[in-house]
Amino acid sequence: MSLVAAFAVPHPPIIVPGVGKGEESAVQSTIDAYRAVAREVAHLAPDVIVVTSPHAPAYLDAFALCDGSSLTGTMADFGDPEDTLSFAVDTAFVEDVELGAQARGVYAARSAWRGRGMDHACFVPLFFIALEYQGFKVVEIGLSGLPSTDHFALGQVISDVARHQQKRVVVIASGDLSHKLKADGPYGYVPEGPKLDAAITHAFAENDLNSLFHIDQGLIDRGAECGLRSFQIMAGALSDTPHTGRLLSYEGTFGVGYAVAAFLVDGSEAGVGDSAEGGRDPFVRLAHEAIEAYTLRRERLAIPPWVPASLRTQKAACFVSIHEAGDLRGCIGTLEPCRDSLASEIIDNAISACARDPRFAPVRPDELPLLDVNVDVLTVPEAVDSVAELDPARFGVIVSCGGRRGVLLPDLDGVDTVDQQLAIAKRKAGIAPDEPVALERFEVTRHYDAK
């Protein structure tokens, strides 16, 4: 009996129904993944849940460990005084973490907590878990200004204590990703925001947690991350334990990155993640299955039962891009929703990309294992008056002249300037370089293949 699983989760208060009051449906994929995590925690039946939180007491030179016999929290600060939580603290576990950290030369102390209650980064994950399972005690730990190596070492201490005390332990690494994904988000936009999220979600999807310690510091600082150190503690806890990792969901709807990932220790009866398989998020998995069904059997895939509710109800335009050995193999999409759901949009565009892109021959069955697939979900295009409002790293572009229309997605390799972006879009539409065009721009949420 020891560490049985760890989960990386975000902590947006809006996903608690008493706070969201219906608006939480905008991040339904995150909620669906959270529920899958809660069910798996109930299945694993841990004795202790350790939550690492960016909003717990934090110090430059120390980790704060929750003190007292109980930990209580509420969402009253977010307009929801009705939802409250209270859990017994595993004081013996806390004491051993304090001693184990100090033995490694890492300062962690109960005295640093100073009587604080449960913050929202701890409340949100425990709220969902408590809906499925309540037979556990808690330990909450704050982050620090200490080096990433100390966060890794603290994770190792958590695993050591779980093993020594012979307790089934789940680690919840609470943390949002970049806070700067959209210009109209609460913190604005910087190009480093999406790049930082791509690096972290890739680490989750590939089960390569060591890469969390090699992200460029400039990218981290400018990307305005929240939870990286929390994830680094999790990496330390898992470091000497064989495990399987999966990225369950990723969304940036509100301009802040929300990722849910599961890391299940081998032999712990893993079963989480009907919304993902083999490191693929549900958008990418659905596109792959649609391509395979059409290429192998000439069938249009029916929406599978594992597809999250958000993809079944949301309507949005999307592009499906196929690459083989790094080269484009097909790309077809829509600029406006044409189907009754985003799931249907992905299925039909995936079929078109693999079989109806006029630039390429249809995909052959022997190519299927070699394909990488991306799904870009588009915002509604908006007209712009000048090229000064374009940015090829952030915005896709639509050029129109008469009945001709050309489209180019954002953030493409080799397209670094607006002039390059417009030239390619015009060429695709058969518009001469010197012909005047009407301009529209759009943003995308890109779902990467991570096989």
Q: Is 342 helix (H, G, I), strand (E, B) or coil?
A: helix
The C-alpha atoms of residue 177 and residue 149 are separated, in whole angstroms, by 20
Cα 385 to chain centroid, rounded = 34
Residue 278 has pLDDT above 80, yes or no: no
Q: Are 442 and 398 in contact (CB under 8 A)?
A: yes
201: pLDDT strictly greater than 60 = yes
In the sheet with 404-408, reading across from the earlier edge strand, the strands are 382-384, 438-442, 396-401, 404-408
Percent of the chain with pLDDT over 70: 96
Q: Please determine, for residue 166, whether its predicted confidence score (pLDDT) is greater than 90.
A: yes
What's the pLDDT at 78?
96
Cα–Cα nearest to 195, from 224, 219, 175? 219
User: Tens digit of pLDDT for each residue in 36-92?
Assistant: 899 889 888 999 999 999 999 999 999 999 999 999 999 999 999 999 999 999 999
Contact 321/294 with Cβ under 8 angstroms? Answer: no
* 87-104: b (≥16 Cβ within 10 Å) or e: bebbbebbebbbebbeee
Nearest 5°: CA angle at 412, between 409 and 415? 105
DSSP 385-432: SSGGG--TTT-EEEEEETTEEEEE-SS-TT--SHHHHHHHHHHHHT--
Q: Beta strand 48-53 with 137-142: parallel, antiparallel or unpaired?
A: parallel
Half-sphere exposure of 431 (CA within 13 A, CB side): 23
Give the span between the Cα atoms of 266 and 41, in whole angstroms. 15
Question: Could you report the per-residue pLDDT of 29-40, keeping only the tens digit for each?
Answer: 899 889 989 988
Res 274 pLDDT > 50: no
| Angle CA 4–50–132, to nearest 5 | 70
Q: What is the pTM of this model?
A: 0.64
Is pLDDT at 380 greater than 50 in this prediction?
yes
- Structure tokens of 12? 């947006």
Q: What are the DSSP E strand ranges found in 277-419?
A: 318-324, 327-333, 371-378, 382-384, 396-401, 404-408
Which residue type, as a one-letter code, is found at position 89? V
pLDDT surpasses 60 at 277: no
- CB distance 41 to 154 below 8 Å: no
Residue 137 confidence (pLDDT): 96
Residue 271 has pLDDT above 80, yes or no: no
* Interval 138-158: pLDDT, tens: 999 999 999 999 999 999 999
CA–CA gap between residue 396 and residue 196 (Å, rounded): 20
For residues 385 and 440, is the Cβ–Cβ distance under 8 A?
no
pLDDT at residue 279 tops 90: no
Q: How much is the average pLDDT of 284-297?
A: 92
The pLDDT, as a whole number, for residue 39 is: 87
Cβ-count burial of 337 within 10 angstroms (0-12 exposed, 13-18 middle, 19+ buried)?
Answer: middle
What are 304's two structure tokens?
């599978």
Using CA atoms of 375, 281, 297, 322 in order, give the dihedral in degrees to the nearest 10. Answer: 30
In three-state secondary structure terms, 346 is helix
- Give, rounded to a whole angstrom, the gap between the first and last alpha carbons of the chain: 31
Phi first, then psi: give them for residue 350, nearest 5 degrees.
-65, -40
> Percent of the chain scored above 90 by pLDDT?
77
Q: What pLDDT, on the 0 to 100 scale, is given for residue 280?
A: 55
Q: What's the half-sphere exposure (Cβ side, CA atoms, 13 Å) at 413?
A: 4
Kindly state the DSSP code that residue 252 receives in the 8-state scheme: -
Q: Please report, for residues 68, 82, 302, 374, the alpha-carbon distance to residue 264 in angstroms, rounded to integers and kept in the order given.
A: 30, 33, 30, 26
Other CB atoms closer than 10 Å to residue 195's CB: what's the count? 17
* pLDDT tens profile 402-418: 889 999 999 888 899 99
What length does the chain have?
451
Burial status of residue 112 (CB atoms within 10 A of its CB: 0-12, 13-18, 19 or more): buried
Q: Which two tokens stand for residue 240?
A: 């000497």
Higher confidence at residue 445 or residue 343? 343
Output the CA torsion 218→213→124→169 (10° steps). -170
Q: How confident is the model at residue 253 (pLDDT cuts 50, 70, 90)?
A: confident
Average pLDDT across the chain, whole number? 91
SS3 354: helix
